[in-house]
Structures are given as C-alpha cells and as structure tokens.
Amino acid sequence: MDLVDQRGQEGEPVKPAPRLIHEVQRLGLTVSIAALVIVVLVVFRLVWSAAVTTPTDQRLQSGLLALEDSHQAMLDMDAALRGYLATGDQFFADTATDAAPVLAAADTQMVNLLEEPQLRQDVLALLLAQQRWRAEWADQARRLPPPGGVELFLKQGKALFDDYTARKDATRADTLAAIDAADRSNVITQWIVGGLLTLVGVATLLVALRGRQRLQRHVVAPVDGLLASVRDIGEGRLTPPHPVDGSAELVALRDGLADMTVALRRQREEAAAQAERLQAQTDRLRTILIMTREIAGSLNTRYVIDSTVQAAVAVTDGRVLLWLLEEDGNGLELAYDSDRGPVAPMETHCHLGVGVVGRSARYGQISRGDPETGEDAAVAVPLVVGARVIGILECYDSVEGEVEGQRLSAVEMLATLSGSAIEASRLHAATERLSQFDPLTQLANRRRLGADLDSAVANAKRHGTPMSVIMLDLDHFKELNDRYGHQQGDVVLQEVASTLRTAMRDGETAYRYGGEEFAILVTRGGPDDAVQLAERLRARVEADFRRGDKQLVTASFGVAGLPEHAGDGEALLSEADRALYSAKNSGRNRVHRAGGLVG
C-alpha cells in the first residue's frame, strides 16, 4: 500500500494506514539499530587502532631500533676506552666522548618502551646496568692509570659490560615477543570486528529486502541516504547528511545524524587539540627527566651547562643563552649559546640590573624583554640556589610564539634542577683544584706530584724512554724569614715559583714539595737534560735574587733519572732528595746528580 498525500474534502491530509506506519517504524527501528551497531563497531575499531594498536606498534618498533643503536654506541665506547687504557692515546678517549651523545639519543628513544608495562622492568634494569657501567668503569677509565691496575680494571669493566649485555638481550627478546603479541591481537580484533559488521549487514539486508516493494519510495531511498551518511561517519568523513524526502521519523533521524556529525566533528577537533597539548607537555617533561638523569651524577660543569641548554632548547624550540654570575658578583658572563656552543670566558658581559638578563639576576625573578625599548624578545629565568642567583637562562621566542604558559613552567622547573647541578659541579671543581694546587705559589702540590710521577714512570717504562726528577731547596731560607719576616718569605716563595713556571717547557712541570722545597718532573729527558735545566734555574734564581752586593737567596738542586738511578717513582724522589742534600752539604748553590757531583 503506497503512502499518498491525499486531502479530504476539508483540505486535511489523509493519515497513512496504521500498518504502513508500523512497517515504517519497524524498518526504521531495525535500520537505526543496525546503523548504530555499525557506527559503534567502526568507531571502536578506529579508536582502538588509533589509541592502542598503532601507537603500540610504533613505540615497540622505535624502541627496538633505539635498543640496537644504544648497544652499538655502548660497544663503540667500550672499545674506545679499552684502546685508551691499552695505548694512552687521547684519540681513543675522544672517540669514547663522541659516542656519548649517540648513546644519550638512543636512550631517549628507548625510554618510549617504559610505556609498555611488560617491558618496563627490563628497560629500567637495562638503563641501570648501563648507568652502572658508565659510572663505575667508563668514567674511571679516562684516568691513567686506572684504580686498581689496568688488568683488574679491565676485568671489572668486562663484568659490568657483560651484565649490561645480558640485560640488553633480555630486553630485546621481550620486545620481539611483545611485537608478536601485538600483531596477533590486532589480527584477532580485525576478524572479530569484521565478523560482527558482516552479521549486522546481512541482517539489515534481509529486513530491507522484505519491505522493499512496499516502502521503496518512502523508506528505502531515504534510508540509503542515511546509511551512506553513517558510513561516512564511520570512515571519518564528518559531513552533514543529505536532506531526506520521507516520513517524519526519517527526517528526525537525519536531523539527529546531522547533530551527531557536528558534535563528533567538534569533539574530534577538541580531542586532537588536547592530545597535541598533552603530547607537547609530555615531551617537555620527558626532556627534563632525561636531562636530570644525565646531570645527576655528573660533576663536569661544561657537561651540565651543555645538557641544560639543550634541554631548554627542546622545551622552548628557540635560541637559549646561559649566563653565569661572575666570582665577584658584580655581573654575569655568557657561558653557552645554543647557536654557537660554549663561549670563551669574559667574551660577553652583562651588568646587574641592565637589560632583561641583568634585571632577572638582580631581583631573582623572571623578566621579559620589551622590544619597544630595543630589548630582545626573550624571557630570562634565574637559576636560584638557596636564596642566591647563580645564573640566568635567557630563552628567545620561537616561531610558535612567546615562551609562556606550560613552556615557561617547564623552563622554571629546568632552571631549578640545573641550578643546583651547576653549583655543585663548580664547587667540586674549585675543591678539586684546592686539593691539588698550593694556594700560595699556585704550583701543583705534593699530592699532585705523586699522581703525575706514577703516571710518568709507568709511561716511561712502557715506551722505554728516560725521565728525570729535580729536587731544589732554597738556601738559608730560615735566616731570610728571621731577618725580613714570614710575609717577605712568602713573597720570595711566590717569585721563585714564578721563575720556575716561566722556565718550564713542554714535558717539564714544577711542584711545591713543601716549605721552601720544590720539585720538577721532566718526562722527556734523562739526567743530562735535567742537569742542564737545573743549572739554568740555579743561575736564574741567583741572578733574580741579587740586590746589589747582597744575595737574598740561592737554590741547591738534586737530580735523579729513570732508569739510571732508580726503578720506580718513590725511589726516584729519594735519590733526587739525597743528591739535593749532597749539594747543600757541599756548599749550597750548586747542582748534584745522584751518584756524582755536577756543576
């Protein structure tokens, strides 16, 4: 029975037969249910693929590649450091240093595997084993000789590296297993969704064929149009459905689909924008986390500064400058420029309170430049340790806009973490220098002499080359102190140290041994060369400290060589010291060589 728009005698339309209305309602209900099931299944499949399957596959594949790159970088570093321990050639140490950024980049990619619960334990164990190898062996391998001796040190390194390799193999095997499991799960999901879609489609087709003859004009064509709109929605084409020429129920359904399309489009745009914001913030936090882990155990100021600037660049996507407060506290000097790298000391200077950097340093607050007054479009974030500003991170605006909001918050967090690390590394460097250098003469001290002498003896024995030690003592220094005072005695010690320092050539190093006694390490010459150097120094001290007809101070020298007079460093110092006292007992102001008198 066709639905005809008939009008009665009074102009009112004739109502459709109840059976037809029932058929239309039943068919519309069936089609609506089928369409809704199809939409749910398709959207579920798309959401599952976009939110779970694809990110997981990409994360696992990139993590596997990063794992191999990290392992190759570890192999390169291990081989280079072993070459350095075997030969002492700085080339191998530099090669190991060059491999460090590659390792750090690979580890950054590998961190993505931490998002997989079944791999998190393996990755953490692998990173801990790698960090242990670097901290307990790789960092120590740059010092010659290594602690405990080369052979024992190499065995320790091999044990640590073998532990890392075992962790790496376990992580790789588990990653491959996770990839296989993800592929199987994806196939099963595709079959289930496809089967359900097939069942729904067949059922819908049977119902549609049953009422096709009667409802062709008023139901089938509109439904086809609506189904096409549903398929477009399922495939992500969120365009409004075409107008429907049919019953009021189908028109209402069409309007509902139009509203749903608009709502889905708006939600998709909002979800995409939110996902982008969350991803950007996650990347910033991951960058800070990685930087913090890298600098946590480092006491190298240059490395900490470099890592801080690189992390700030990753967060802001713009140029970053790092300024450090000068020792006198009156200004700042530029330490690092992301466009140029490390900057020479005092090359660029900034006064407190002047400009965006100076204002931030003076008041300990974030300051933004004002381009209208000629300042750069940059924001300055202070590095505060306790209540003291030690430096400034100057971040220039990028093409994406000003450094503000979440990006500025990330820079503040970065400044808080890196400030303490920079201060700790600078204090460590100052302490290390104080422990190895005499504060009065600025010469290396006796402790440094012991370490350098052991290294020089080992190198001389390894290459079969001669080396020597010169011991010198200022004559009648006690009488000078008693006559002129200890302050004048300190001045004489400083001048003698300056005389020694300016006379040193390549392979010659002066040390303050204690009191008025000094030592000179000659790593590239035998006793004859050392005797000539000692005689030059003796004559120079005598000339420099003559005041008219008065001689303020002279020096006596003792020389000993390896292997002529001793077989190790301690014996070499002892023989040189004996030769020194032989010279003093023979009248002072002369040079004695171990085993005989010279000069």
Task: Cite the active site residues.
Answer: 516
C-alpha to C-alpha distance for 337 and 425, rounded to whole angstroms: 19
Question: 256: part of which helix (H) or strand (E)?
Answer: helix 248-296
User: Which of 118, 117, 133 has its CA nearest to residue 166?
Assistant: 133
- Side-chain half-sphere CA neighbours of 292 within 13 A: 14
- Alpha-carbon separation of residue 513 from 34, 240, 453, 518 (angstroms): 95, 90, 13, 5
C-alpha to C-alpha distance for 271 and 279, rounded to whole angstroms: 12
- Distant-in-sequence contacts of 305-310, Cβ < 8 A, 24+ apart: 305/335, 305/336, 305/342, 305/422, 306/336, 306/342, 307/418, 308/393, 308/414, 308/418, 308/421, 308/422, 309/336, 309/338, 310/338
User: Which of 385, 379, 346 has its CA nearest to residue 360?
Assistant: 379
What the block records as the tokens of 543 is: 């000339």
Question: 57: which DSSP letter?
Answer: H
CB atoms within 10 A of CB 452: 17
- Side-chain half-sphere CA neighbours of 89 within 13 A: 9
Strand 508-514 relative to strand 517-522, pairing? antiparallel
Residue 384 DSSP SS3: strand
C-alpha to C-alpha distance for 290 and 292, rounded to whole angstroms: 5
C-alpha to C-alpha distance for 35 and 43, rounded to whole angstroms: 12
Phi-psi category of residue 236: left, alpha or beta, with phi > 0 → left and psi -120 to 50 → alpha: left
